[in-house]
Structures are given as C-alpha cells and as structure tokens.
Amino acid sequence: MKALLQRVSHSSVSVDDQEISSIGKGLLILLGIEKEDTAENAAVLCKKIANLRIFEDAQEKMNLSVSDIRGEVLVISQFTLMANTKKGNRPSFVDAAPPEEAKPLIKFFCETLREYGLSVKEGIFGAHMLVELVNDGPVTIWLEN
C-alpha cells in the first residue's frame, strides 16, 4: 500500500465537470493498493497518517497532526502509484491490486481514518478524476506499508 500525502490549504476533486468533494486545511491522500495488501496494512497506515506531525504549531515547528488541527482528509484512489518503470518507457501496473480487491480496501481505509475522528471525503473509484490542490509548504510525504 502506498500513500502520497500532501498538506493542503484546499483540495477538490471533480468528475464529468462536477465537483464531488472538497476540503479545506488538511491532507490530500493519493492511495494505491498492491495485490498483497490487507486490511491490516491499511489500519497501520491510517494510524500513522492520523498521528503524523506535519502541521505547524505556534512556533512554526511541525508538531501537530491532522487530528490535532481538526483538519480534513480527501482520499483519491490512484493505481498509478504502483507503476513499475524499471524496463522500457511504458509503466507496468502488474503489482496493482485488481479493482475488486482494491475498492473494498480503499473503503476500509477511509472508514478507519474516520474512526480516528477525521472528516474524510473521497473521490470516485475508477472514475477519471480532476484533482485540484493548493499544497501548503509545500509538504509532500511518501508512505508505504
């Protein structure tokens, strides 16, 4: 499981020219699911994300988590995070979980984040999405489990 976290002041996702979700201050999470991933992988990653101290405190030090600031989270499924580019010029996605395995894990991931008290919004699995964001910092963190 791979997650690319971006600390944002605003983010939104649109499908077919219609905004379907938006958040203010918080995290945009691009989430990729690998064939071998389990609910346990998702739970561990959610705990890390809920407690990761990447927001600034009053002294401008990264000492606060998204939970601490009561930030919002936007989760976007993105199988392209599984791209293998070791050979040739065309990425291989053979390590990405098939949709029937990935979709329930992404739902579980979002529900687990909600159990930490976070406001979680989502994209639409499998849809062609347009994601907008204002990266605050910029702060971008790569997590794997």
pLDDT tens for 67-101 read 999 999 999 999 999 999 999 999 999 999 999 99
The answer to whether residue 80 is catalytic is yes
pLDDT of 145 strictly over 90? no
Contact 43, 19 (CB under 8 A): no
Q: Which CATH class is domain 2-144?
A: alpha beta
Cα distance between residue 30 and residue 28, in whole Å: 7
Which single residue is written with the structure tokens 């392209």? 80
Catalytic residue among 80, 85, 112, 140: 80
- The model's pLDDT over 124-141, given as tens digits with 9 standing for 90+, comes to 999 999 999 999 999 999
